[in-house]
A and B are shown apart, each in its own frame.
Chain A
Amino acid sequence: MSETYYDPADLAKFGDIKDFQPDLAKKFFAWYGAVFQEGALTAREKSLIALAVAHAVQCPYCIDAYTSDALEKGCDEAQMMEAVHVSAAIRGGASMVHGVQMMNKAKDLLM
Protein backbone atom coordinates (compact mmCIF):
# COMPACT_ATOMS: atom_id res chain seq x y z
CA MET A 1 0.00 0.00 0.00
CA SER A 2 1.40 3.36 -1.00
CA GLU A 3 1.69 6.05 1.64
CA THR A 4 0.89 9.67 1.07
CA TYR A 5 0.97 12.73 3.27
CA TYR A 6 -2.75 13.33 2.63
CA ASP A 7 -5.50 10.87 3.55
CA PRO A 8 -9.11 11.79 2.55
CA ALA A 9 -10.33 10.11 5.76
CA ASP A 10 -8.45 12.73 7.77
CA LEU A 11 -10.92 15.43 6.74
CA ALA A 12 -13.57 13.85 8.99
CA LYS A 13 -11.04 13.93 11.84
CA PHE A 14 -10.61 17.71 11.69
CA GLY A 15 -12.37 18.05 15.03
CA ASP A 16 -9.73 15.85 16.63
CA ILE A 17 -7.30 18.79 16.75
CA LYS A 18 -8.98 19.54 20.10
CA ASP A 19 -7.29 16.46 21.57
CA PHE A 20 -3.94 18.28 21.82
CA GLN A 21 -5.27 21.73 22.70
CA PRO A 22 -8.98 21.82 23.63
CA ASP A 23 -9.36 25.48 24.61
CA LEU A 24 -7.93 26.95 21.45
CA ALA A 25 -9.73 24.38 19.29
CA LYS A 26 -13.04 25.30 20.88
CA LYS A 27 -12.43 28.98 20.14
CA PHE A 28 -11.27 28.21 16.62
CA PHE A 29 -14.34 26.10 15.72
CA ALA A 30 -16.75 28.60 17.29
CA TRP A 31 -15.17 31.40 15.27
CA TYR A 32 -15.02 29.24 12.13
CA GLY A 33 -18.71 28.44 12.42
CA ALA A 34 -19.58 32.11 12.95
CA VAL A 35 -17.58 33.17 9.90
CA PHE A 36 -19.71 31.03 7.58
CA GLN A 37 -23.08 32.17 8.89
CA GLU A 38 -25.25 34.42 6.72
CA GLY A 39 -24.09 37.97 7.30
CA ALA A 40 -23.28 40.93 5.12
CA LEU A 41 -22.32 38.20 2.65
CA THR A 42 -24.63 35.27 1.98
CA ALA A 43 -23.58 31.76 3.00
CA ARG A 44 -23.51 30.98 -0.72
CA GLU A 45 -21.06 33.83 -1.46
CA LYS A 46 -18.88 32.76 1.45
CA SER A 47 -18.81 29.21 0.16
CA LEU A 48 -17.53 30.40 -3.23
CA ILE A 49 -14.88 32.58 -1.55
CA ALA A 50 -13.81 29.57 0.52
CA LEU A 51 -13.61 27.45 -2.63
CA ALA A 52 -11.42 30.06 -4.32
CA VAL A 53 -9.15 30.40 -1.29
CA ALA A 54 -8.94 26.59 -1.01
CA HIS A 55 -7.39 26.61 -4.48
CA ALA A 56 -5.07 29.47 -3.64
CA VAL A 57 -3.73 27.68 -0.57
CA GLN A 58 -3.95 24.37 -2.45
CA CYS A 59 -5.50 22.51 0.44
CA PRO A 60 -6.99 19.22 -0.81
CA TYR A 61 -9.18 18.88 2.28
CA CYS A 62 -10.61 22.36 1.74
CA ILE A 63 -11.17 21.75 -1.99
CA ASP A 64 -13.04 18.56 -1.15
CA ALA A 65 -15.09 20.20 1.60
CA TYR A 66 -15.98 23.40 -0.26
CA THR A 67 -16.81 21.65 -3.54
CA SER A 68 -19.48 19.74 -1.61
CA ASP A 69 -20.46 22.84 0.30
CA ALA A 70 -20.82 24.99 -2.83
CA LEU A 71 -23.06 22.34 -4.43
CA GLU A 72 -25.11 22.21 -1.24
CA LYS A 73 -25.46 25.99 -1.36
CA GLY A 74 -26.94 25.58 -4.85
CA CYS A 75 -23.96 26.90 -6.86
CA ASP A 76 -23.61 25.71 -10.41
CA GLU A 77 -20.48 24.42 -12.08
CA ALA A 78 -19.79 27.66 -13.96
CA GLN A 79 -19.93 29.70 -10.75
CA MET A 80 -17.55 27.27 -9.06
CA MET A 81 -15.07 27.33 -11.92
CA GLU A 82 -15.22 31.13 -12.08
CA ALA A 83 -14.28 31.16 -8.39
CA VAL A 84 -11.23 29.04 -9.22
CA HIS A 85 -10.35 31.45 -12.03
CA VAL A 86 -10.53 34.32 -9.54
CA SER A 87 -8.09 32.41 -7.35
CA ALA A 88 -5.77 31.73 -10.30
CA ALA A 89 -6.01 35.35 -11.50
CA ILE A 90 -4.95 36.66 -8.10
CA ARG A 91 -2.12 34.13 -7.86
CA GLY A 92 -1.00 34.91 -11.42
CA GLY A 93 -1.48 38.61 -10.87
CA ALA A 94 0.54 38.45 -7.66
CA SER A 95 3.49 37.12 -9.65
CA MET A 96 3.02 39.50 -12.54
CA VAL A 97 2.70 42.64 -10.45
CA HIS A 98 6.13 41.86 -8.98
CA GLY A 99 7.35 42.28 -12.51
CA VAL A 100 7.23 46.00 -11.76
CA GLN A 101 9.69 45.42 -8.90
CA MET A 102 11.89 43.44 -11.28
CA MET A 103 11.70 46.28 -13.80
CA ASN A 104 12.57 48.87 -11.13
CA LYS A 105 15.59 46.85 -10.03
CA ALA A 106 16.67 46.18 -13.60
CA LYS A 107 16.43 49.88 -14.40
CA ASP A 108 18.62 50.60 -11.37
CA LEU A 109 21.22 48.19 -12.61
CA LEU A 110 21.11 48.77 -16.32
CA MET A 111 22.77 51.63 -18.16
Chain B
Amino acid sequence: MSSNTKRSLKGQGSQLADNFYQLKILNDSVKAGKFTGFREKLAEHGLGTLKPTGVDILQVNVGYMCNQVCKHCHVDAGPDRREIMTRETMEHCLEVLRRTHIPTVDLTGGAPEMNPDFRWFVEEIRKTGSKVLVRCNLTIIRANKKYYDLPEFFRDHQIEVVSSLPYYNRRRTDSQRGDGVFDDSIEALKMLNEVGYGQPGTGLILNLVYNPTGAFLPAPQASMEAEFKRNLKEDFGIEFNSLYNITNIPISRFLDYLIASKNYEAYMTKLVNGFNPVAAQGVMCRNTISVGYDGYMYDCDFNQMLGIKVKTAQTHIKDFDLESLTRRDIMLDQHCFGCTAGAGSSCGGEIA
Protein backbone atom coordinates (compact mmCIF):
# COMPACT_ATOMS: atom_id res chain seq x y z
CA MET B 1 0.00 0.00 0.00
CA SER B 2 2.99 2.31 0.32
CA SER B 3 3.96 4.71 -2.41
CA ASN B 4 7.16 3.69 -4.14
CA THR B 5 6.76 6.00 -7.10
CA LYS B 6 9.54 8.56 -7.10
CA ARG B 7 8.46 10.44 -10.19
CA SER B 8 5.67 12.90 -10.82
CA LEU B 9 2.90 12.12 -13.29
CA LYS B 10 4.61 14.60 -15.60
CA GLY B 11 7.91 12.74 -15.19
CA GLN B 12 6.17 9.48 -16.02
CA GLY B 13 4.62 11.02 -19.13
CA SER B 14 1.14 10.28 -17.78
CA GLN B 15 -1.86 11.63 -19.65
CA LEU B 16 -3.17 12.86 -16.28
CA ALA B 17 -0.33 15.38 -16.08
CA ASP B 18 -2.31 17.31 -18.71
CA ASN B 19 -4.74 19.72 -17.04
CA PHE B 20 -7.10 19.68 -20.05
CA TYR B 21 -7.33 15.91 -19.79
CA GLN B 22 -8.17 16.17 -16.08
CA LEU B 23 -10.91 18.68 -16.77
CA LYS B 24 -12.22 16.47 -19.57
CA ILE B 25 -12.55 13.51 -17.19
CA LEU B 26 -14.34 15.66 -14.61
CA ASN B 27 -16.70 17.17 -17.16
CA ASP B 28 -17.36 14.00 -19.14
CA SER B 29 -19.05 12.60 -16.02
CA VAL B 30 -21.41 15.60 -16.03
CA LYS B 31 -22.14 15.23 -19.73
CA ALA B 32 -22.89 11.54 -19.16
CA GLY B 33 -25.49 12.59 -16.60
CA LYS B 34 -23.68 10.94 -13.70
CA PHE B 35 -23.20 14.12 -11.64
CA THR B 36 -24.67 17.57 -11.40
CA GLY B 37 -22.45 20.38 -12.69
CA PHE B 38 -20.97 22.61 -9.98
CA ARG B 39 -22.55 25.81 -11.32
CA GLU B 40 -25.90 24.04 -11.62
CA LYS B 41 -25.58 22.94 -8.00
CA LEU B 42 -24.85 26.50 -6.88
CA ALA B 43 -27.93 27.68 -8.80
CA GLU B 44 -30.09 24.98 -7.16
CA HIS B 45 -29.24 26.60 -3.83
CA GLY B 46 -29.84 30.13 -5.04
CA LEU B 47 -26.14 30.90 -5.24
CA GLY B 48 -25.06 32.55 -8.46
CA THR B 49 -21.53 33.40 -9.43
CA LEU B 50 -19.09 33.42 -6.55
CA LYS B 51 -17.56 36.83 -5.94
CA PRO B 52 -14.52 37.76 -3.82
CA THR B 53 -14.89 39.36 -0.42
CA GLY B 54 -11.41 40.91 -0.75
CA VAL B 55 -7.80 39.76 -0.81
CA ASP B 56 -6.71 38.81 2.69
CA ILE B 57 -4.25 36.11 1.65
CA LEU B 58 -1.65 36.06 -1.10
CA GLN B 59 -0.81 32.40 -1.57
CA VAL B 60 2.46 32.12 -3.45
CA ASN B 61 3.58 28.86 -4.99
CA VAL B 62 7.35 29.23 -5.21
CA GLY B 63 7.92 26.04 -7.19
CA TYR B 64 6.84 22.48 -7.79
CA MET B 65 10.07 20.82 -6.67
CA CYS B 66 9.62 18.61 -3.60
CA ASN B 67 11.59 15.94 -1.77
CA GLN B 68 8.42 13.85 -1.50
CA VAL B 69 6.07 12.30 -4.06
CA CYS B 70 2.79 12.03 -2.16
CA LYS B 71 0.03 9.97 -3.74
CA HIS B 72 -2.62 12.64 -3.27
CA CYS B 73 -0.59 15.69 -4.35
CA HIS B 74 -2.68 18.13 -6.36
CA VAL B 75 0.49 19.89 -7.52
CA ASP B 76 2.09 16.72 -8.94
CA ALA B 77 5.18 17.91 -7.12
CA GLY B 78 8.36 15.88 -6.82
CA PRO B 79 12.15 15.88 -7.09
CA ASP B 80 11.86 15.80 -10.89
CA ARG B 81 9.84 19.03 -11.14
CA ARG B 82 11.98 22.00 -12.15
CA GLU B 83 9.37 24.78 -12.27
CA ILE B 84 10.57 27.41 -9.82
CA MET B 85 9.79 31.04 -9.00
CA THR B 86 12.54 33.47 -9.89
CA ARG B 87 13.66 36.35 -7.70
CA GLU B 88 12.24 38.72 -10.32
CA THR B 89 8.73 37.28 -9.85
CA MET B 90 9.21 37.43 -6.08
CA GLU B 91 10.05 41.12 -6.47
CA HIS B 92 6.71 41.61 -8.23
CA CYS B 93 4.96 39.93 -5.28
CA LEU B 94 6.83 42.16 -2.82
CA GLU B 95 5.86 45.25 -4.77
CA VAL B 96 2.19 44.21 -4.47
CA LEU B 97 2.58 43.67 -0.72
CA ARG B 98 4.19 47.10 -0.21
CA ARG B 99 1.38 48.70 -2.17
CA THR B 100 -1.66 46.80 -0.89
CA HIS B 101 -0.72 45.58 2.61
CA ILE B 102 -2.33 42.15 2.15
CA PRO B 103 -2.14 40.83 5.73
CA THR B 104 -1.04 37.23 5.09
CA VAL B 105 1.35 35.58 2.67
CA ASP B 106 0.93 31.81 2.41
CA LEU B 107 4.02 30.16 0.94
CA THR B 108 3.53 26.82 -0.70
CA GLY B 109 5.06 24.51 -3.31
CA GLY B 110 6.35 21.73 -3.73
CA ALA B 111 8.59 22.16 -0.76
CA PRO B 112 8.87 25.96 -0.70
CA GLU B 113 12.15 25.78 1.23
CA MET B 114 13.81 24.18 -1.83
CA ASN B 115 13.57 27.44 -3.76
CA PRO B 116 17.09 28.92 -3.43
CA ASP B 117 15.57 32.37 -2.79
CA PHE B 118 13.13 31.13 -0.13
CA ARG B 119 14.90 32.68 2.87
CA TRP B 120 15.53 35.98 1.10
CA PHE B 121 11.87 36.10 0.07
CA VAL B 122 10.66 35.45 3.63
CA GLU B 123 12.91 38.19 5.02
CA GLU B 124 11.68 40.68 2.42
CA ILE B 125 8.01 39.79 3.00
CA ARG B 126 8.44 40.34 6.74
CA LYS B 127 9.82 43.83 6.02
CA THR B 128 6.49 44.69 4.33
CA GLY B 129 4.67 43.88 7.59
CA SER B 130 2.75 40.90 6.22
CA LYS B 131 2.49 37.76 8.26
CA VAL B 132 4.13 34.69 6.68
CA LEU B 133 2.72 31.23 6.74
CA VAL B 134 4.76 28.37 5.29
CA ARG B 135 3.36 25.03 4.21
CA CYS B 136 6.26 22.87 5.35
CA ASN B 137 6.16 19.15 4.56
CA LEU B 138 8.27 18.47 7.71
CA THR B 139 10.64 15.96 6.10
CA ILE B 140 12.47 18.76 4.27
CA ILE B 141 13.86 19.77 7.68
CA ARG B 142 15.53 16.34 7.89
CA ALA B 143 16.33 15.97 4.17
CA ASN B 144 19.71 17.69 4.07
CA LYS B 145 22.08 19.41 6.49
CA LYS B 146 21.40 22.78 4.86
CA TYR B 147 17.78 22.56 6.06
CA TYR B 148 18.49 21.49 9.66
CA ASP B 149 18.26 25.08 10.91
CA LEU B 150 14.85 25.75 9.35
CA PRO B 151 13.05 25.61 12.73
CA GLU B 152 15.29 28.43 14.02
CA PHE B 153 14.83 30.38 10.78
CA PHE B 154 11.05 30.01 11.06
CA ARG B 155 11.17 31.10 14.71
CA ASP B 156 13.42 34.09 14.05
CA HIS B 157 10.98 35.41 11.43
CA GLN B 158 7.85 34.54 13.42
CA ILE B 159 6.58 32.32 10.61
CA GLU B 160 3.44 30.29 11.15
CA VAL B 161 4.12 26.68 10.18
CA VAL B 162 1.42 24.52 8.61
CA SER B 163 2.41 20.91 8.07
CA SER B 164 0.72 17.89 6.59
CA LEU B 165 0.54 14.84 8.76
CA PRO B 166 -2.28 12.74 7.34
CA TYR B 167 -2.52 10.50 10.38
CA TYR B 168 -0.95 9.91 13.76
CA ASN B 169 0.40 6.53 12.81
CA ARG B 170 3.10 5.27 10.47
CA ARG B 171 1.06 3.02 8.20
CA ARG B 172 -1.47 5.60 7.10
CA THR B 173 1.07 8.39 6.79
CA ASP B 174 3.58 6.37 4.77
CA SER B 175 0.84 4.92 2.53
CA GLN B 176 0.08 8.44 1.34
CA ARG B 177 3.41 10.25 1.60
CA GLY B 178 6.02 7.53 1.04
CA ASP B 179 8.07 5.10 3.09
CA GLY B 180 9.87 6.64 6.04
CA VAL B 181 7.93 9.91 5.95
CA PHE B 182 6.20 9.33 9.27
CA ASP B 183 9.43 8.78 11.22
CA ASP B 184 11.12 11.81 9.64
CA SER B 185 7.99 13.93 10.23
CA ILE B 186 7.99 12.99 13.92
CA GLU B 187 11.65 13.97 14.23
CA ALA B 188 10.97 17.28 12.48
CA LEU B 189 7.99 17.98 14.75
CA LYS B 190 10.21 17.38 17.78
CA MET B 191 12.73 19.90 16.37
CA LEU B 192 9.94 22.45 15.89
CA ASN B 193 8.68 21.83 19.44
CA GLU B 194 12.22 22.27 20.77
CA VAL B 195 12.51 25.82 19.40
CA GLY B 196 9.08 26.67 20.82
CA TYR B 197 6.60 25.83 18.06
CA GLY B 198 3.27 24.56 19.35
CA GLN B 199 4.27 25.43 22.91
CA PRO B 200 2.03 27.58 25.10
CA GLY B 201 3.11 31.18 25.54
CA THR B 202 5.65 31.30 22.70
CA GLY B 203 3.32 32.70 20.04
CA LEU B 204 4.95 30.27 17.61
CA ILE B 205 2.11 28.57 15.77
CA LEU B 206 2.40 25.03 14.48
CA ASN B 207 -0.75 23.73 12.80
CA LEU B 208 -1.11 20.28 11.30
CA VAL B 209 -3.14 19.22 8.29
CA TYR B 210 -5.17 16.03 8.18
CA ASN B 211 -5.96 14.64 4.72
CA PRO B 212 -7.89 11.41 4.43
CA THR B 213 -5.55 8.64 3.29
CA GLY B 214 -7.96 7.26 0.73
CA ALA B 215 -11.26 7.77 -1.05
CA PHE B 216 -13.27 9.14 1.85
CA LEU B 217 -14.12 12.49 3.39
CA PRO B 218 -12.39 13.93 6.47
CA ALA B 219 -13.67 13.26 9.98
CA PRO B 220 -15.09 16.21 11.92
CA GLN B 221 -12.17 18.55 12.62
CA ALA B 222 -12.67 19.00 16.37
CA SER B 223 -12.83 15.26 17.10
CA MET B 224 -9.81 14.55 14.87
CA GLU B 225 -7.83 17.31 16.53
CA ALA B 226 -8.51 15.73 19.93
CA GLU B 227 -7.39 12.31 18.62
CA PHE B 228 -4.23 13.75 17.05
CA LYS B 229 -3.33 15.68 20.19
CA ARG B 230 -3.84 12.69 22.46
CA ASN B 231 -1.96 10.23 20.26
CA LEU B 232 0.97 12.49 19.33
CA LYS B 233 1.43 13.55 22.94
CA GLU B 234 1.17 10.03 24.39
CA ASP B 235 3.31 8.31 21.75
CA PHE B 236 5.91 10.98 20.96
CA GLY B 237 5.51 13.89 23.38
CA ILE B 238 4.63 16.17 20.44
CA GLU B 239 2.46 19.28 20.79
CA PHE B 240 0.81 21.46 18.16
CA ASN B 241 -1.82 24.21 18.02
CA SER B 242 -4.66 23.28 15.66
CA LEU B 243 -5.53 20.58 13.18
CA TYR B 244 -6.86 21.60 9.77
CA ASN B 245 -8.96 19.10 7.86
CA ILE B 246 -8.44 19.31 4.13
CA THR B 247 -10.52 17.26 1.70
CA ASN B 248 -8.62 15.67 -1.16
CA ILE B 249 -9.52 17.42 -4.39
CA PRO B 250 -10.12 15.11 -7.38
CA ILE B 251 -7.36 16.42 -9.62
CA SER B 252 -3.81 15.42 -10.55
CA ARG B 253 -2.34 12.56 -8.50
CA PHE B 254 -5.44 12.09 -6.33
CA LEU B 255 -7.53 11.80 -9.50
CA ASP B 256 -4.99 9.28 -10.78
CA TYR B 257 -5.38 7.31 -7.53
CA LEU B 258 -9.19 7.47 -7.69
CA ILE B 259 -9.27 6.15 -11.25
CA ALA B 260 -6.65 3.43 -10.66
CA SER B 261 -8.39 2.24 -7.49
CA LYS B 262 -11.84 2.37 -9.18
CA ASN B 263 -13.06 4.83 -6.56
CA TYR B 264 -13.61 7.82 -8.87
CA GLU B 265 -17.39 7.61 -9.24
CA ALA B 266 -18.07 6.74 -5.61
CA TYR B 267 -15.83 9.59 -4.41
CA MET B 268 -17.38 12.14 -6.75
CA THR B 269 -20.82 10.96 -5.62
CA LYS B 270 -19.80 11.65 -2.01
CA LEU B 271 -18.57 15.13 -2.92
CA VAL B 272 -21.63 16.03 -4.99
CA ASN B 273 -24.15 14.57 -2.52
CA GLY B 274 -22.28 16.25 0.33
CA PHE B 275 -22.61 19.74 -1.20
CA ASN B 276 -23.06 22.22 1.62
CA PRO B 277 -24.30 25.70 0.61
CA VAL B 278 -22.92 27.22 3.82
CA ALA B 279 -19.45 25.88 3.00
CA ALA B 280 -19.85 27.14 -0.58
CA GLN B 281 -20.24 30.68 0.69
CA GLY B 282 -17.07 30.47 2.79
CA VAL B 283 -14.66 29.00 0.25
CA MET B 284 -11.10 30.30 0.37
CA CYS B 285 -11.06 31.59 -3.22
CA ARG B 286 -13.25 34.45 -2.00
CA ASN B 287 -10.43 36.03 0.01
CA THR B 288 -7.30 34.57 -1.57
CA ILE B 289 -5.22 35.12 -4.67
CA SER B 290 -2.97 32.26 -5.68
CA VAL B 291 0.24 33.14 -7.54
CA GLY B 292 1.99 30.53 -9.66
CA TYR B 293 5.75 30.09 -9.91
CA ASP B 294 5.66 32.03 -13.18
CA GLY B 295 3.72 34.95 -11.66
CA TYR B 296 0.28 34.22 -13.12
CA MET B 297 -2.67 34.60 -10.78
CA TYR B 298 -5.42 32.12 -9.99
CA ASP B 299 -8.43 31.91 -7.67
CA CYS B 300 -6.82 29.04 -5.75
CA ASP B 301 -3.94 26.58 -5.87
CA PHE B 302 -6.23 23.96 -7.46
CA ASN B 303 -7.21 26.28 -10.31
CA GLN B 304 -3.52 27.03 -10.67
CA MET B 305 -2.77 23.36 -11.24
CA LEU B 306 -5.61 23.14 -13.76
CA GLY B 307 -4.32 26.24 -15.58
CA ILE B 308 -7.53 28.23 -14.91
CA LYS B 309 -6.35 31.83 -14.45
CA VAL B 310 -8.25 34.66 -12.75
CA LYS B 311 -10.96 36.19 -14.90
CA THR B 312 -9.52 39.69 -15.18
CA ALA B 313 -8.00 41.59 -18.08
CA GLN B 314 -4.52 41.31 -16.57
CA THR B 315 -3.55 37.99 -15.07
CA HIS B 316 0.10 38.47 -14.07
CA ILE B 317 1.24 39.59 -10.63
CA LYS B 318 3.22 42.48 -12.16
CA ASP B 319 -0.14 43.93 -13.25
CA PHE B 320 -1.88 43.25 -9.91
CA ASP B 321 -4.92 45.50 -9.59
CA LEU B 322 -6.81 45.07 -6.35
CA GLU B 323 -9.97 46.74 -7.62
CA SER B 324 -10.43 44.59 -10.71
CA LEU B 325 -9.50 41.46 -8.75
CA THR B 326 -12.14 42.12 -6.11
CA ARG B 327 -14.74 42.63 -8.86
CA ARG B 328 -13.90 39.43 -10.74
CA ASP B 329 -16.06 36.33 -11.10
CA ILE B 330 -14.37 33.34 -9.48
CA MET B 331 -13.65 30.55 -11.97
CA LEU B 332 -15.47 27.36 -11.08
CA ASP B 333 -15.42 23.78 -12.30
CA GLN B 334 -16.25 20.26 -11.12
CA HIS B 335 -13.26 19.99 -8.75
CA CYS B 336 -14.84 22.79 -6.66
CA PHE B 337 -17.13 20.15 -5.14
CA GLY B 338 -14.05 19.17 -3.10
CA CYS B 339 -14.19 22.44 -1.13
CA THR B 340 -17.96 22.45 -0.59
CA ALA B 341 -18.62 18.88 0.62
CA GLY B 342 -19.68 18.24 4.18
CA ALA B 343 -18.09 20.71 6.57
CA GLY B 344 -16.22 22.23 3.61
CA SER B 345 -12.50 22.47 3.05
CA SER B 346 -9.95 25.22 2.68
CA CYS B 347 -6.24 25.72 3.23
CA GLY B 348 -7.30 26.70 6.77
CA GLY B 349 -9.36 23.56 7.33
CA GLU B 350 -13.12 23.20 7.79
CA ILE B 351 -15.33 26.04 6.64
CA ALA B 352 -18.84 25.39 7.99
Contacts and interface: CB of A to CB of B under 8 A. Distances in A.
A74 B223 contact: yes
B212 A76 contact: no
A72 interface: yes
B172 A72 contact: no
Contact of A74 (B171, B214, B219, B269): B219
B223 A73 contact: yes
Contact of B223 (A12, A44, A71): A44
Interface size bracket, A side: 10 to 19
A72 to B, nearest CB: 5
Interface string B214-253: 1011111001100100000000000000000000000000
B169 A72 contact: no
A71 to B, nearest CB: 5
Interface in B152-178: 167, 169, 171-172
Contacts of B269: 12
B216 A68 contact: yes
A76 B175 CA distance: 14
A73 B343 CA distance: 13
A96 to B, nearest CB: 34
A72 B167 contact: no
Interface in A11-64: 12, 42-44
Given A42-B223, A44-B223, A76-B167, A71 B172 contact: no
Grouping DSSP codes into helix (H, G, I), strand (E, B) and loop, the B interface class, with mixed when no group exceeds half, is: loop
Interface residues of B, number: 15
B167 A71 contact: no
Contacts of B216: 68, 71-72
Contacts of B171: 77
A60 to B, nearest CB: 15
B173 to A, nearest CB: 11
Contacts of A43: 220, 223
Interface in B301-315: none
A76 B219 contact: no
A85 B212 CA distance: 25
Contacts of A74: 218-220, 223-224, 227
A76 B218 contact: no
Contacts of B167: 76
A71 B172 CA distance: 12
Interface in B161-209: 167, 169, 171-172
A12 B265 CA distance: 13
Which of A12, A42, A43, A74 has the largest number of chain B CB atoms within 10 A? A74
Contacts of B169: 76
Which of B169, B220, B227, B269 has the largest number of chain A CB atoms within 10 A? B220
A42 B212 CA distance: 20
A98 to B, nearest CB: 39
Nearest to A67: B216
B219 A73 contact: yes
A42 B223 CA distance: 9
Interface in B3-22: none
Given A68-B216, A71-B216, A76 B172 contact: yes
Contacts of B227: 74
A90 B65 CA distance: 53
24 contacts: A12-B269, A42-B223, A43-B223, A44-B219, A44-B223, A71-B212, A71-B214, A71-B216, A72-B212, A72-B216, A72-B217, A72-B219, A73-B219, A73-B220, A73-B223, A74-B218, A74-B219, A74-B220, A74-B223, A74-B224, A74-B227, A76-B167, A76-B169, A77-B171
The 3 closest A-B pairs by CB, nearest first: A74-B219, A71-B216, A74-B224
Interface of B: 167, 169, 171-172, 212, 214, 216-220, 223-224, 227, 269
Interface of A: 12, 42-44, 68, 71-74, 76-77
Given A72-B218, A74-B218, 5 more contacts: A44-B219, A71-B212, A72-B212, A72-B219, A73-B219
